[in-house]
Amino acid sequence: MQRTDFGEEFKWGVSTAAYQIEGAHDTDGKGPSIWDHFTSIKGKIADNHHARHSGDFYNNYPGDIELLNTLSIPNFRFSISWPRVMPGGVHFNRKGLDFYHRVIDACLEKNIEPWITLYHWDLPLALHRQGGWENRDIVSWFAEYVYLCAREFGHKVKYWMVLNEPMVFTGAGYFLGIHAPGNKGLNKFLKAVHHATLAQARGGTILKKELPQAMVGSTFSCSYLTPYSSSERDARAVVRADALLNRLFIEPSLGLGYPIKDLPFLERIEKYFHANDEKRMYVDFDFIGIQNYTREVIKHSWLTPLIHAKIIPPAKRKVPGTVMNWEVYPESIYQMIKKFSAYPGVKRIYVTENGAAFPDHVHGGKINDLERISFLKNYLAQVLRAKNEACPVEGYFVWTFTDNFEWAEGYHPRFGLVHVNFDTQERIIKNSGYWYQAFLQGKENLKFHPEPFLTSN
């Protein structure tokens, strides 16, 4: 028995990322990444956590894939660690490649479809030291990496994503400096944005040429934005924030260029253009992945440079939030599916990440995470709403499968359907994991439940 209300071809799965789950940071020839270095700097990560061991998926993958099978999860999104397969960013590492062959083969043996993300933020440190995303040469470096992965895994893997959330890794890593590599400054950010845009298109084009039977896309972070007040100034602030947070990477990939008209400071990016870059930014993706968790309420602010807009956090608005201080607002995912569906060049949409972090309390070997179940029910109801309105949404992936290293927040936020004890590596399926299993098996009816948001606080 399986779900049919979303359609028999709808793709159900979970998403993960190499750096967040694999551990084995220097095993079998893996080279250091920018995150290995960044987490070694005191004060960069909450409680100075690091991911050198994390959930040790590198050694625990057979059991984890068996858990996927147990929970009836038919699609598994994971990323390739660039420095594991190309430690110095140039020559390949056979032991690293063989690891991903083992993971892919283990999935296929269980009739689980592997979905590969090529870049989920773990740039080889050796390439960072040559300029990283600020160096235009990264487009060529990335192309060689894409060719390698296509040659190695293309005969086994049908679904490919080029970049994960380029707005986040460029904004947090090259403007705000709160993520690896910790760079700050407008010019650093603009160079990284343009080169990531070019790499996204180059990588997608290579995959489509090398693997004509594959489905090729890229993933984009997005938040539903609403104004703080009914003032015209707040409305204009929303337009500027939308151009930065939701439109910056999707529009050039569709041949629309950067949204400079609505965010004038982006005009400065043109000094990094070479001849014909407008054409080089375009790629004919088969799908896009959208990754939505929340909405943001935007207020005009002269004190915020460049964008003149600021986010009013949930606590100040006295609305329910998660451990990440993200508002629980299910309609956000409906609004973002509708927004991206409106682009003529978008053929199909997969929700490649959606989920929530809440405190886990282990009682008698069980974790009854009612908040996460409530979250998933209400967000999925909004996905179904969009699908019933003829939006081309064709899949949904929970973030995430197992608890993991959550970047600058360390191990404090727990997003997983499966609890991980990072000291013992014990796995405990949470009640949300069992709920997702029953849901996928068609044993849980999905209706919109305006249930009160449950809080552990």
- Convert the pLDDT of each residue in 153-204 to its tens digit: 999 999 999 999 999 999 999 999 999 999 999 999 999 999 999 999 999 9
Beta-bridge partner residues of 255: none
pLDDT at 446: 73
Give the list of residues 6+ apart from residue 348 with CB closer than 8 angstroms, or none. Answer: 286, 287, 288, 392, 393, 394
Residue 362's pLDDT band, with cuts at 50, 70 and 90, is: confident
Give the list of residues 6+ apart from residue 212 with CB closer than 8 angstroms, or none. Answer: none
Which long-range contacts does 6-11 make (Cβ < 8 Å, 24+ apart)?
A: 6/383, 6/384, 6/387, 6/396, 7/387, 7/394, 9/394, 10/387, 10/394, 10/395, 10/396, 11/74, 11/75, 11/113, 11/350, 11/394, 11/395, 11/396, 11/397
Question: What is the CATH code of the structural domain delimited by 11-440?
Answer: 3.20.20.80
Extents of the domains making up the chain:
11-440
Active site residue ranges: 165, 353
- Convert the pLDDT of each residue in 312-342 to its tens digit: 999 999 998 999 999 999 999 999 999 999 9
Q: What are phi and psi of 6, to 5 degrees?
A: -95, -5
Strands 309-312 and 215-221: unpaired
User: Do 299 and 310 touch, CB atoms closer than 8 A?
Assistant: yes
User: Do 193 and 228 touch, CB atoms closer than 8 A?
Assistant: no
Which long-range contacts does 240-243 make (Cβ < 8 Å, 24+ apart)?
A: 240/307, 240/308, 240/309, 241/296, 241/298, 241/307, 241/309, 241/311
pLDDT at 4: 82
pLDDT at 455: 40
Q: CA 403, CA 362: separation in Å to the nearest integer?
A: 14
Longest dimension (CA), the chain: 64
Over its C-alpha atoms, the chain yields an Rg (Å, rounded) of 21
Residue 454 has pLDDT above 80, yes or no: no
The H or E element spanning position 146 is helix 138-153
CA-wise closest residue to 36 among 61, 18, 57, 58: 18
pLDDT at 448: 53
Give the list of residues 6+ apart from residue 422 with CB closer than 8 angstroms, or none. Answer: 53, 54, 55, 403, 411
